[in-house]
Amino acid sequence: MTMLVDDEGRPLGMVDPVAMRADAVRLAFRLAAVAGNEDAVDAVIQETVSSYGPRAAGPVFTAAARTLALDVVAGLLDVCDEIGVPARTKLTELAAAADS
């Protein structure tokens, strides 16, 4: 167990990092499964915030984003590359446009 503290060091609560990581992996795959359905994505996010609270949910979302990038999207992009769909190029273009 790990204690969470606020910016001034006051305790906020305890978390189990192993359970939090497992929740992050589940969150990543749940989000991937409902991708494209805005209401379902919002429901999954709200459920996570409700479960952890707004402060503690941040690390879960961060770990879920990592899992989405490395395990979900990377695999999909590999398949796209193999079949000749330039999804990786399009995502790079979209990222550059978002930065401008």
Phi, psi angles (nearest 5°) of residue 11? -65, 135
- Please report, for the chain, the start and end positions of each structural domain, with discontinuous segments joined by +: 2-99
Q: Where is pLDDT greater, at 13 or 64?
A: 64
pLDDT (0 to 100) of residue 28: 98
pLDDT single digits (tens) 64-79: 999 999 999 999 999 9
What mean pLDDT is reported for the chain?
A: 93
Q: What is the pLDDT of residues 88-98, one digit of tens each?
A: 999 999 999 99
Section 25-51 average pLDDT:
97
Tell me whether residue 56 is exposed, middle or buried, using C-beta atoms within 10 angstroms of its C-beta: 0 to 12, 13 to 18, 19 or more: middle
